[in-house]
Structure 1
Amino acid sequence: MKSLSRADRRQIGVQSVEIAGRLLKTLAQLEGPQTLKDLSAAAALSPAKAHRYLVSLIREGLIEQSVIDGRYDFGGAARVIGRAAINRLDIMRIGAPLLIELRNTLQQTVFLGVWGNEGPTVLYWLDVPRPVSVIIRPGSILPLLTSALGLICAAYLPPDLTKKRIAKEIAEHKRSGLDFPVKSLEAAAKKLADVRARGFSVVRGDLIRGIDAMAVPVLDFKNDLVAVLAAVGPSRSIDVSSNGKPIRELKLAAKKFVALIG
């Protein structure tokens, strides 16, 4: 029997990985655990060949076989890899080009925000030349009830993450004696329900006098909040109406964001 060259053995090894990868991707595209017959057919492999690869994938924890009906599904190692891939998703890499496009289209200051350890956090900020700049920069922590970013976080995150902060902000507003738009937990609940119904948030000088802002959520396939896109500008120069250009462009950018996340 003719021995294989080193190059041939290396090529066979690559092909083996490709076939294993094909099985994993095929399983991901199918709904639920699969029989050997159905999985091999969907992957365009013979059952015998598919079985050999499945045995190795089971040994590596990437696939598991039910002891009840013999069907195949993802194993613990595959779930760990999936979680790691999601956690390493580069929000900045995806969001930065979209923000550049938004700023150029709207000619307004725009930014990308996320929910951080300290609350609603500005992650990336793109300004436009103005006589007076808005003094908010990357790393800034914004309030929940008086910022467009905060309202989106409060509206779309699980209440357990935000309810204490909301109560604290309302109490601080009452102690300050100043006039704020949200004066009670009931008013906050109504405000956040309105944000969800409209699909965007708006503040008119609530955080900085003379500065209006609006924001939209970026929601993944599970409707979990991934990021927030926002536009900011002087009250007389930015259209914050529900059918205005800024809202339309922000929502379009959010759809592009979701598509890029996959």
Structure 2
Amino acid sequence: MNKNPEIFIYTALPCEAKPLIARLRLKRLVQIKPFAVYCNETLCLTVTGVGKTAMAAGVAYSRALFAGMDTLIMINIGVAGHKTEPVGTAFIAHKIADAETGRKFYPVLAYSPPCLSATVVTASKPQLDYAHDYLCDMEASAFYETASRFATGELIQCLKIVSDNQSAPAEGLDARQVTELIDCNITQLMLVIDELTRLAAHIAPLSPACFDRLCQHYRFTASERMQLKNLLTRWQALTCRQPLPAVDGMTTGKEVLRWLEREVNAVDVVL
């Protein structure tokens, strides 16, 4: 098993993954059973299954398989519907909204995307009325919310390809067409990866002293340690490595994570 992939890609469907597996020469990790996981020397692709729950589980599972990396690129690529945009058009998400919970996420576009950007709204069921001028999918919000526990926001991106619209509704869409849509946009994906790879090189690695000190004083699970690393890395990037405020009055790792997330978000809003 590859111990150190630097790029993590997630698709919901096998037909979305198929052209990526071929073009990137990925090999399946046959010993992995809960999800289909494919790797080469630097990249890990996970096919999660359809829906928010499946995507969240797939992201968390793949990161548990390859724990320990701090600066990671995480990308969700897949198809989405739109009211009027032409089939085959690629978009990077600049806003992701969850139709059920109302939660909103704003991916950081700290690079020049190779395509236009758009809002993606994630719902638990297919949206086939084509009544809104945004992209509709079933996984993006869960991908972003879960990935943000493991990577810094600048390196988490969502690339969606229009697969259906009012003129070409989803009822006529099959797996072969989805594969072709992804295949035609692999160049866009590789451009995003290139941009994020350059960006990752400029993100300073986490200073271990603060992380080690917090881990000595509070108990964190393996997943919580990854969240802690991500939040501390974001704090360093946003504050130019200013010292973290004193951690007072907290007794558990979960309390520390909630406090640190509030501190990081407060700095992000001010900036």
- TM bin, normalised by shorter chain, reads under 0.3
TM-score normalised over the length of structure 2: 0.22
Q: What is the TM-score when the length of structure 1 is the normalising length?
A: 0.22
Q: Between Structure 1 and Structure 2, whose CA radius of gyration is higher?
A: 1
**Higher RCO by CA contacts (8 Å cutoff, separation 6 or greater):** 2
More helix by share: 1
